[in-house]
Structure 1
Amino acid sequence: MQKVKKIETYNSNSDTVVTIGTFDGVHVGHQKIIKRLVNTAKREGLKSVILTFFPHPRMVLQKDSSIKLINTIDERSKIMDDLGLDYLLVKKFTQAFSRLSAEDFVKNILVDKLHAKKVIIGYDHRFGRNRNADINDLKVFGESYGFEVEEISVQDVDDVSVSSTKIRKALLDGNIKKANKYLGYPFMLTGKVVKGKGLGNQWGFPTANIVIQEDYKLIPKHGSYVVNASIDNNLVFGMMNIGTNPTVDGTSESIEVHFFNFNKNIYNKTIQINLLHRLRDEIKFESVEALKAQLLKDRDTSLNYVKAHFN
């Protein structure tokens, strides 16, 4: 797959089949659409293209900087790459772009830029200035500009009954099992390993402190989780805490991972942490000794989970 960070630099003359959307989470519903896109492209001798937008339109139009996304744009790209897509095109979403008329969007982007011969789109898709055009308008444009519109029906969407909104809520509730079921893969956090206070090392549980650069990335409910990560092509399991470390009077949020049977130096590495199972809420213990006792229990529970699900 080729990822084009700026659609303006896309210069292929190949005819394409296109779908359009934010695709936050690239969940099982999105995957169904993308597989349909890829299969159609192969069958009809076209290139498969996803046109996505970044930043999220709500961040731009509603000044809603509080919205958190399931994936960073790089995570989204990585997931799509595994689905056999030819091109992921990222269009920077701006106020000016939002004012583009529906017909200008169709002519300038879908037809002139992407050479679309088919557009696969949801029955409820809206586009153009003030989102005033719908799939019926798109079909009319298709007749004028020579492309076909294939509708993703309400039944196709309802069969999956998944939405990015439901997944965000599940993550904020700490329901990682439901979130992962809807996603079709483990929810991930990607960040750089930095030096922390070293408290975990003093307690016999050295941790990798993960810093996530993208402030729009959704962080799940505070608590402890069973996780894994691929480090130097080796799959490593561990347990992660998201929270403020209240037992030692911490105040700022941190993400700390203790990997089992692992002692490599990974400072400054960027790693992807996959969340597999929730252990418990973060609580303030009466003492550090009580916390250490709980960490031993968490480790045993985590190892039993890994043994049951990955051996």
Structure 2
Amino acid sequence: MLVFRGFSRPAPAPTVLTIGNFDGVHLGHRALLRKLKDHAAATGLMPAVLTFEPHPREFFAPDKAPTRLSSLREKLELIAAEGIDFACIGRFNAALASMDAEAFVERLLVDALRVGHLIVGDDFRYGAGRRGDFALLETLGRRHGFTVEALGGVQQDGLRLSSSAVRHALADGRMEDAARFLGRPYVIDGRVVRGQQLGRHLGVPTANIRVKHRRPALGGVYAVSVDGLPDGPHRGIANIGYRPSVDNTTRALLEVHLFDLDRDLYGAHLSVRFLHKIRDERKFADLDALKHQISEDLLSARQYFTH
């Protein structure tokens, strides 16, 4: 997939385009991307996505913005996996936030992205003050020579699929629900970095992965499956959080212990699939209490994979 940052270069070909944040790329997003790809195949247009970094809500209210389900890299990889040929990343800043709806369409969609057909969710809003709506898109499409299509929300078990629904499931530890909404287990990718060797001291060596998201969408201890090693996938156990029993760090850390595997993993890029929540992260009185709980957690994780 070809990726452009910003709008200084026009798209390499006329596009069938969709716009959104695509956080987590859940089944609703994937239905939209399939629609995009089908239209591209029928018309010869290039399937393209416009997304924004940072998330607009992070720009307007960073302290109240939702947790991220996926990093930009993870999101682009998931979009590419759906067969999309081109993605444009628009930097969401003051200039973009103040751009009126007509300029948004003319400068970004028409001039930069060469839109021939636009597919958006039925609740899509754009432009300063979110003034732009579907009716205005249709009017501007007739003026600039592109067509517009609205796609209704996708439902599962009577619930409209959304990034918020995935976040709620993860926060509640409902990993099976999150996997159903996503169409796959929830995954965090990252590179293994050097840690304090505490896990090895406790008899449970871990691969330490710095979490890219400012606030992870989940926390606690989980049974996981890990890809990224040549002889994988590997089963294991992971803790994601702030290590209150050790150093109470302000930046979340993902620590992964792979069953029956003890080798140097520094520098490896791993994909950690969260399958089942064992417990919340909590502070222990001392390292002996922590070590005892880790033994219980390991047993719970192995029992999950057994049953």
The TM-score, its normalising length taken from structure 1, stands at: 0.88
Residue ranges of structure 1 left out of the alignment (5+ in a row): none
Cα distance, 1:85 vs. partner? 0.6
Q: Which has the higher mean CA deviation after the structures are superposed, 28-37 or 194-203?
A: 194-203
Counterpart of 1:236?
234
Q: Quote the offset at 1:104 in angstroms.
A: 1.6
Deviation per residue, 1:43-67 (Å, 9 max, x gap): 2211101101111111223354754
Identity of aligned residues (%): 33
Give the drift of 1:108: 1.6
Paired position in structure 1 for 2:302: 303
Aligned mates of 2:40, 2:68 — CA distance in 1 = 29
Structure 1 position 191, deviation (Å) = 2.7
The change in CA–CA distance for 1:172 and 1:303 in structure 2 (over 3 A counts) is same
- Cα 1:288–1:87 shift into 2, 3 Å: same
1:31 CA displacement: 0.8
Aligned to 1:146: 145
Partner residue in 1 for 2:2: 2
Matched, 1:251 2:248: yes
- Partner SS, residue 262 of structure 1: coil
Distance of aligned partners of 1:157 and 1:245 in 2 relative to their CA distance in 1, 3 Å threshold: closer
Does 1:225 pair with 2:229?
no
Q: 1:258 Cα shift?
A: 0.7
Deviations 1:144-181 (A, max 9, x none): 11111111136x56876111122222222333222222
Give, in whole Å, the separation in 1 of the partners of 2:155 and 2:217.
27
Q: SS of the counterpart of 1:24? A: coil
Contact 2:167 2:217 in 1 (8 A): no
**AA matched with 2:227:** S
- Residues 68-107 of structure 1 mapped to structure 2, 5 A cutoff: 68-107=67-106
For residue 220 of structure 1, report the CA deviation from its aligned partner: 0.9
Q: Distance in 2 between matches of 1:136 and 1:279?
A: 48
Conserved in 1, the CA contact under 8 Å of 2:11 and 2:114?
Answer: no
Distance in 1 between the 2:187 and 2:256 partners? 13
Instruction: State how many pairs are aligned.
Output: 303
Partner of 1:112, secondary structure, is: helix
**Aligned equivalents of 1:99, 1:286: Cα separation in 2:** 52
Q: Normalising to structure 2: TM-score of the pair? A: 0.89
> Counterpart in 2 of 1:188?
187
The reply on whether 1:123 has 2:159 as its aligned counterpart is: no
Aligned residue identity for 2:102: E
Relative to structure 2, which stretch is displaced further, 62-71 or 257-266? 62-71
Q: Given that residues 4 and 10 in structure 1 are in contact (C-alpha distance below 8 angstroms), is that contact kept between their aligned partners in structure 2?
A: no
Q: Secondary structure at the match of 1:193?
A: strand
Query: Displacement of 1:286 after TM fit?
Result: 6.1
Per-residue deviation, residues 53-101 of structure 1 (Å, max 9, x unmatched):
1111112233547542111100100111111111111111111112222
* TM-superposed deviation, 1:244: 4.4
What are the within-5 Å matches in structure 2 for residues 193-232 of structure 1? 193-212=192-211, 214-221=212-219, 223-232=220-229
Aligned partners of 1:244, 1:199: CA distance in 2, in Å?
Answer: 14
Quote how far apart the aligned CAs of 1:291 are: 4.0
